[in-house]
A and B are shown apart, each in its own frame.
Chain A
Amino acid sequence: MSKKTIIGILSCTCFLTGCMGNRFSVWKDSLISSNYKKTNHLWDDANDPYDHLLGPMEEEFIALSDEDLQQQFSDAAIPAPKNDPGEGRLPGIEGFNHPRGLEAEIFRTLYFNTDKDTLEGKSYYQIIDQISQHLRKNPQLFIFVEGHCDERGPEQYNLSLGARRANYVRSMLVQKGVHPERIHTVSYGKEKPAVQERSREAWAKNRRAEFKIYNPS
């Protein structure tokens, strides 16, 4: 084995070791930013007639002014609807029903990866497309997006994670042209599992966003 070969092997080893030392958080950040790039690409052609509903709501709360929080559509943040369900003309969640018949084919449950609040996979974006088309065609409909988690995460953290999942789906629908006042979110954390078993398959089925529909007509 020549000296050059040995030096070459040593340099390669040093280089690879250096790469391994990269922080986990950096990897996670790149993963997250790539997800958001994907969603941003989907939103590129979306018209936004709801500017008046976005941005800091100074009349309701004192908002932070940091720049990274002001970039609309960059982080899937669309302010919650102004009218709370169950308190005005809109009924509470008991007035919303599980999708049935043709609507059950459209409003399909969306599944998330462990501890993730973004969707991965083209099929999910096709479902979002179908739902947004249906909602645009039926402007009388209001929906609830329910955010759920599997049983493995901490209870309190899961309540927040469920809210983030539901809001992610909501903002994607808004970006696809659905009026933000028509979509409400609710987080149940891990309180309402779809499957009671304890297995990888059951957990995958419980990390989900489900839909409920209210049709006033």
Chain B
Amino acid sequence: MSSKIYIRFISIYFFLTFFSSVICAERIEEEIRVHLPTTSPLQPIYLGKIFSQDAVFDVHYLNQLEAILCYDLDYNGSTKVCQRTSDKEQLLRNKDLTAAFQIQNWQSFGIPFIIKCCVNQKQLTLYLFNVSNSCLKTFGPISLSGNLSQDRKKIHKLADILHKTLFSIEGIASTRILFSQKTPHSESEKWISEIWECDWDGANACQITSEKTYCITPILLPKADKFLKEGFFYVSYKTGQPKIYFQASKTDKARRISSLRGNQLLPAVSPKRDKIAFISDASGRVDLFVQAFSPETGKMEKPVQLYSHPHAVQASPTFSPDGSKIAFASNKDGGTRIFVIPITSDKKRPSAVMITKKNRENSCPSWSSDGTKLAYSAKTNGIRQIWIYDFEKKEEWQLTSGPGDKENPFWAPNSNHIVFNSTQDCNSEIYVVNLNQPQAIKISRGLGKKHYPTWGL
């Protein structure tokens, strides 16, 4: 009798085990399914070789200019440069533009946009042919100087005009990236950190502070049409404690922004350039402050303690595009998460809404200028990766992958590109990525730890 019960029990057990494993397997298969987009958001574009007619520059120089334009078109997040072929080059070699851009010749290649560049003596002219409507547009002629740094800027500007023509959106090839670079000081053998500036492709890198101390976390004053004042904020340790300074240009003397006591760290500027947010321990806690200011008159209002928590660390403020909210990192509820608060002036701690919930150790948020997204760094399988929080869908998704701790993301003015630093084996470099091309491009060169990148016009 007991053996029968035993056999029944065993058979029921096996049946249930088998049944549950089948159900679970189906569920697991569902969980790991990844949906990949099958269509690329990038428009193919063909960039022909530069044709030279009595050009005063050698082939090597023209190749360098060509490579700059190719980079601008390849990583602008909207177009992808197609591989060169002899048949297409043969078509473009035709001096007669009508013959070169015969629509029936180009339709078969399936490339919507064709670019032909010609250099005549010192003048660069660019022709853009839209295959879909058979429209030919001419850009230039642009005077080339023969100085690569100067001509590079002209090529970037041209790339931005092309982008605006094609997509009615401002390009970012003429924008600037600021970052801090840590190197050993040659005389004192101490490590120092200065602020550097470079083009969006990492070229033309030059040091813009010379304090021979620790200068970190630069942030560019956003440009505005009606205002002329330009410059950048940064944190300097020159008096011993970190304080926020503003410097108008490379040669200008930096001036302290706030007379607030204690450590001042991690400044952020509102897109309307009327407020700065920063972290300060003036009260003895590490709090989030906001201070109204006018870059034109230099007038600073009294700082406002916007957020404080007795037992929490606050860090990394970033403004919403309209300047009414601030996102920041805080560990007030345990692990470090990103919170959003309204900017109020009623002396009451605003209610903070936690927006990132998927990962551990969330840090350094950056609000996109269109207001729809927030980039931040989060620990993912032991490595810090860049994640995006979508305000419209209320979803978080991972942008970067691979080795190297990626931190300090900052949006380009087009709300599509992000600059960040990645640290591997104690070496930190600057990378650029865009939402349509998740393969990040390293833009920094040379020795030293490069970090805290920021993007601006």
Q: Do A and B come from one complex?
A: yes
Instruction: Say whether, besides A61-B305, A68-B310, A80-B262, A160 and B315 are in contact (CB < 8 Å).
Output: yes
Interface segment among A7-15, A71-79, A126-134, A200-208: the answer is A71-79
A139 at the interface (CB under 8 A from B): no
Q: Is A46 an interface residue (CB 8 A)?
A: no
What is the total number of residues of chain B having a CB less than 8 Å from a CB of chain A? 61
Stretch binding the partner chain, chosen from B22-30, B83-91, B342-350: B342-350
**Contact of A159 with B283 in the complex, beta carbons under 8 Å:** no
- The answer to whether B241 and A155 touch across the interface, beta carbons within 8 angstroms, is no
Q: Bound complex: CA of A179 vs CA of B286, how far in Å?
A: 21
Residues of B contacting A4 in the complex (Cβ-Cβ under 8 angstroms): none
Q: Which residues 191-226 in B have Cβ within 8 Å of A in the complex?
A: 191, 193, 214, 216-217
A163 with B281: CB separation less than 8 A? yes
Which residues in B have their C-beta under 8 angstroms from that of A32? 311
Q: How close is A29's CB to chain B, nearest CB, in angstroms?
A: 8
**Smallest Cβ distance from B189 to chain A, in angstroms?**
14
In the complex, residue of chain B having the shortest beta-carbon distance to the beta carbon of A198:
B426
A60 in contact with B310 given A75-B285, A155-B452, A156-B316 (CB within 8 Å): no
Interface-central residue, A36, A69, A96, by most chain B CB under 10 Å: A69
User: Cα distance A128–B331 when bound, in Å?
Assistant: 27
Complex interface residues of chain A between 68 and 114 (CB less than 8 A to chain B): 68-69, 74-82, 84-87, 91-94, 96
Q: Determine if B336 is an interface residue (Cβ-Cβ < 8 Å).
A: yes
Inside 8 A of A66's CB, which chain B residues have their CB? 308, 348-349
Question: Which A residues are in CB contact (< 8 Å) with B238?
Answer: 86, 92
Given A62-B347, A156-B266, A157-B329, are A69 and B451 also a contact pair (CB < 8 Å)? no
| Distance of A176 from chain B, by nearest CB (Å) | 15
In this assembly, does B279 line the interface, its C-beta being within 8 Å of a C-beta of chain A?
yes
User: A188 to B149, alpha carbons, bound, how many Å?
Assistant: 36
* Cβ–Cβ contact A156 & B315, under 8 A: yes
Is A160's CB under 8 angstroms from B347's CB?
A: no
Inter-chain contacts of A93 with B (CB < 8 A): 237, 239-241
Q: How far in angstroms is the closest Cβ of chain A from B314?
A: 6
Tell me which of A61, A76, A156, A186 contacts B263 (CB under 8 A).
A186
B261 touches A69 (CB 8 A): no
Whether the Cβ atoms of A185 and B377 lie closer than 8 Å is: no
* Contact for A155 among B302, B347, B407, CB less than 8 A: B407
Choice from B241, B305, B307, B363 contacting A186 with Cβ under 8 Å: B241
A2 is an interface residue with CB less than 8 A from chain B: no
Check A80–B315 contact: CB distance below 8 A.
no
Instruction: Name the contact of B284 in the complex, choosing from A76, A117, A156, A192 (C-beta under 8 A).
Output: A76
Q: Which residues of B have CB within 8 Å of A24?
A: 334-335
A78-B241 in contact given A25-B334, A66-B349, A159-B315 (Cβ < 8 Å): no
Q: How far is the CA of A148 from the CA of B311 in the complex (A)?
A: 18
CA distance A187 to B235 in the complex (A): 12
Decide if B283 touches A157 in the complex (CB within 8 Å): no
Whether B265 pairs with A163 at a CB distance below 8 angstroms is: yes
Tell me whether A211 is interfacial, beta carbon within 8 Å: no
Per-position binary interface string of chain B over residues 366-393, scored 1 when its CB falls under 8 Å from any chain A CB and 0 otherwise: 0000000000010000001000000000
One of B261, B285, B329, B452 near A82 (C-beta < 8 A): B261
A187 to B280 Cα, complex, angstroms: 11
Q: Are the C-beta atoms of B314 and A77 separated by less than 8 Å?
A: no
CB <8 Å contact, A157 and B263 = no
Which of B237, B240, B279, B306 is the one whose CB lies under 8 Å from A163?
B279
Residues on the A chain within 8 Å of B331, using CB: 115
For B261-295 the 0/1 string (1 means CB < 8 A from A) is 11101100000000000010111111001000000
Give A36's nearest chain B residue, CB to CB. Answer: B311
Residues of A within 8 A of B42 (CB): none
Specify the main secondary structure of chain B where it touches its partner.
Answer: loop
CA distance A25 to B334 in the complex (A): 5
- Is A48 in the interface zone, CB < 8 Å from B? no
B286 near A160: Cβ-Cβ < 8 Å: yes
Check if A79 sits within 8 Å of B237, measured CB to CB: no
Question: Is the beta-carbon distance between B282 and A61 smaller than 8 angstroms?
Answer: yes
Q: Which of A56, A61, A66, A184: most chain B CB closer than 10 A? A: A61
Closest to B263 in A: A163
- B:295-327 near A, CB below 8 Å: 302-308, 310-311, 313-316
Q: Is the CB of A167 within 8 A of B266?
A: no
A39: Cβ under 8 A from any B Cβ: no
Evaluate contact between B363 and A154: CB separation under 8 angstroms: yes
Interchain CB contact under 8 A, A153 and B305: no
Closest B residue by C-beta to A83: B261
* CB-based nearest A residue for B364: A156
Distance in angstroms from A19 CB to nearest chain B CB is 18
Would you call B281 and A80 a contact (CB within 8 A)? yes
Quick check: is A119 within 8 A (CB to CB) of the other chain?
no
Cβ of B266: which chain A residues have Cβ within 8 Å of it? 156, 159-160
Q: How far does the Cβ of B206 sit from chain A's closest Cβ, in whole Å?
A: 23
A69 touches B310 (CB 8 A): yes
User: Within the complex, what minimum Cβ distance (angstroms) separates A50 from chain B?
Assistant: 12
**B54 at the A interface (CB under 8 A):** no
Q: Is the CB of A167 within 8 A of B286?
A: yes
In-complex Cβ contact of A62 among B216, B286, B304 (8 A): B304
Shortest Cβ distance from A116 into chain B, in angstroms?
A: 10
Closest CB-CB distance, A212 to chain B, in whole Å? Answer: 9
Q: Is B74 an interface residue (CB 8 A)?
A: no
Whole-angstrom CA separation of A160 from B278 in the bound complex: 11
- Contact partner, A161, options B237, B240, B313, B345, Cβ 8 Å: B313
The 6 nearest A-B residue pairs measured at CB: A86-B239, A80-B262, A93-B240, A77-B284, A154-B363, A75-B310
Given A62-B305, A155-B452, 8 more A-B residue pairs with CB atoms under 8 Å apart are: A24-B334, A81-B261, A84-B241, A85-B239, A153-B361, A157-B313, A167-B281, A185-B281
Mark B residues whose CB is within 8 Å of A: 182, 191, 193, 214, 216-217, 237-243, 259-263, 265-266, 279, 281-286, 289, 302-308, 310-311, 313-316, 329, 331, 333-336, 345, 347-349, 361, 363-364, 377, 384, 407-408, 426, 451-452
